């Protein structure tokens, strides 16, 4: 034990580890955001991204890790790097306008890196909504763009209400179905507040993101019942036996997932979930999915102060709800992630041993010097 303690103390002094604590028998390691970003940027540049693309892409991954959403953080770096190296994620491309009105734009993402194309789409939606009050921007030829709230919160921090959605490969059964028809098709909704945290919902339309099953497989952990079913449709706790994800909320999640697929394929022009290509397995094709960004400018409805006061009051009232037995608090959407983000800013980003091992290997593969 003493040896272990000395080892970790030594590592702590030598490397980018900036905090380590023992939680339920497991040592939790925290790493410097800047050091992780720097390593990731170097890897992605060597894989083929331009520097500015690698920068925003790493901000996207570390945004998720800082919020404890490790399914969408550095654990995906290796797959993204491979997709860039194979050319199915294109470097150096920008979103271009195919059709446009005062309050709408249809963009082609040219299969560029999702974080950059997604932000370009959101920047345009914000600009249009500032003038018109409401804007819708779609993207076709899109790649995986990570956590949806990377875009919706960016908008809410600029005073806008935002809804963001994307589709993904069909790996889930619809309610009552026995074949993969639906992607985990995520969406995020953010509403700005003043003294309270912004309303910040961000989730898959499956019970959880498929990335959480992939992460459990890599980390040798079991999963809760309800995340997925095996090929006979039986609920399973073994992530290796998950053949299909299941929609959250039964028929309602199934319907919402289908709606997102319609918006991202029929409206935006991406491939639908059944036709799009796998992020994890298909290195011969870009994913070719769609995104939709909807932005509402509250200033066009009522004075800013009045709106923010009302949102604060609503959120405060909601969170004052007494907790049920077995719960310690009623959390707002995004509150748990927001608290983790604050902690990560102060103490460094928590990462698992598995992710650190993968990062070290990637550094070796791409010739990047590390001291993790």
Ligand X SMILES: NC(=O)c1ccc[n+]([C@@H]2O[C@H](COP(=O)([O-])OP(=O)(O)OC[C@H]3O[C@@H](n4cnc5c(N)ncnc54)[C@H](O)[C@@H]3O)[C@@H](O)[C@H]2O)c1
Q: Which of 6, 27, 266, 336 binds ligand X (CB under 6 A)?
A: 336
CA distance 340 to 356: 19
In the complex, the smallest distance separating the C-beta of residue 150 from ligand X, rounded to whole angstroms, is 8
Closest-by-Cβ residue to ligand X is 203
In the complex, the smallest distance separating the C-beta of residue 279 from ligand X, rounded to whole angstroms, is 7
Number of amino acids touching ligand X (CB under 6 A):
26
User: Contact between 344 and ligand X (CB under 6 A)?
Assistant: no
Instruction: Between 44 and 115, name the residue whose CB sits nearer to ligand X.
Output: 115
Q: Among the candidate windows 21-29, 154-162, 201-209, 297-305, which touches ligand X by CB under 6 A?
A: 201-209
Strands, sheet with 17-23, edge to edge from the N-terminal-most edge strand: 17-23, 26-31, 349-351
CA distance 239 to 252: 24
CA distance 172 to 244: 5
CA distance 354 to 348: 17
The SS3 assignment for 264 reads helix
What DSSP element (H or E) covers 149?
A: helix 149-156
Residue from 141, 144, 241, 327 carrying the catalytic annotation: 144
Q: Which of 49, 95, 208, 356 binds ligand X (CB under 6 A)?
A: 208
User: Contact between 113 and ligand X (CB under 6 A)?
Assistant: no
Q: Which residues are 203's β-sheet partners?
A: 187
User: Contact between 111 and ligand X (CB under 6 A)?
Assistant: no
Q: Which of residues 71-110 bind ligand X (CB under 6 A)?
A: 71-72
Q: How far apart are the first and last CA of the chain?
A: 21
User: Contact between 145 and ligand X (CB under 6 A)?
Assistant: yes
Instruction: Between 125 and 372, name the residue whose CB sits nearer to ligand X.
Output: 125
Neighbours of 234 (CB within 10 A): 9
What are the helix (H) ranges across 231-297? 251-261
What DSSP element (H or E) covers 132?
A: helix 114-132
Contact call for residues 307 and 301 (beta carbons, < 8 A): yes
**How do strand 26-31 and strand 349-351 relate by DSSP bridges?**
antiparallel
Q: Which of 138, 143, 168, 265 binds ligand X (CB under 6 A)?
A: 168
Annotated catalytic residue 144: yes
Residue with tokens 């003493």: 2
Instruction: Between 148 and 296, name the residue whose CB sits nearer to ligand X.
Output: 148
User: Contact between 321 and ligand X (CB under 6 A)?
Assistant: no
Instruction: Between 41 and 209, name the residue whose CB sits nearer to ligand X.
Output: 209
Q: Among the candidate windows 78-86, 126-134, 145-153, 236-244, which touches ligand X by CB under 6 A?
A: 145-153
Q: Which of 331, 339, 360, 365 binds ligand X (CB under 6 A)?
A: 331
User: Contact between 337 and ligand X (CB under 6 A)?
Assistant: yes
Query: What residues are annotated to the active site?
Result: 144
């Amino acid at each position: 034990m003493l040896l272990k303690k000395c080892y970790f103390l030594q590592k702590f002094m030598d490397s980018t580890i900036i905090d380590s604590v023992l939680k339920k028998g497991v040592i939790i390691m925290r790493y410097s955001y800047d050091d992780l970003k720097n390593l990731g940027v170097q890897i992605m540049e060597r894989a083929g991204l331009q520097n500015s693309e690698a920068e925003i892409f790493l901000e996207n991954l570390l945004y998720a890790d800082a919020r404890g959403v490790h399914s969408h953080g550095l654990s995906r770096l290796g797959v993204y790097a491979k997709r860039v190296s194979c050319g199915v994620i294109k470097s150096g491309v920008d979103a271009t306008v195919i059709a446009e009105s005062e309050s709408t734009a249809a963009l082609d993402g040219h299969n560029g890196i999702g974080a950059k194309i997604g932000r370009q789409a959101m920047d345009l939606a914000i600009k249009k909504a500032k003038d018109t009050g409401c804007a819708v921007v779609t993207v076709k030829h899109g790649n995986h763009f990570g956590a949806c709230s990377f875009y919706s919160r960016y908008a809410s921090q600029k005073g806008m209400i935002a809804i963001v959605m994307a589709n993904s490969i069909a790996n889930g059964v619809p309610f009552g179905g026995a074949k993969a028809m639906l992607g985990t098709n995520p969406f995020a909704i953010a509403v700005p507040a003043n003294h309270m945290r912004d309303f910040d919902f961000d989730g898959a339309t499956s019970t959880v993101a498929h990335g959480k099953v992939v992460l459990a497989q890599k980390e040798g952990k079991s999963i809760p019942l309800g995340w997925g079913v095996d090929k006979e449709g039986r609920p399973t706790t073994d992530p290796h036996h998950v053949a299909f994800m299941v929609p959250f909320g039964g028929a309602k999640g199934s319907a919402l997932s289908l709606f997102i697929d319609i918006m991202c394929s029929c409206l935006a022009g991406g491939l639908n979930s059944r036709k799009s290509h796998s992020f994890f397995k298909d290195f011969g094709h870009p994913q070719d999915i769609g995104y939709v960004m909807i932005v509402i400018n509250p200033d066009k409805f009522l004075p800013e102060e009045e709106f923010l006061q009302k949102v604060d009051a609503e959120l405060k009232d909601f969170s004052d709800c007494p907790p049920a037995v077995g719960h310690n608090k009623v959390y707002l959407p995004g509150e748990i992630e927001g608290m983790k983000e604050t902690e990560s800013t102060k103490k460094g980003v928590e990462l698992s041993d598995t992710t650190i091992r993968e990062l070290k290997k990637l550094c070796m593969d791409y010739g990047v010097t590390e001291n993790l």
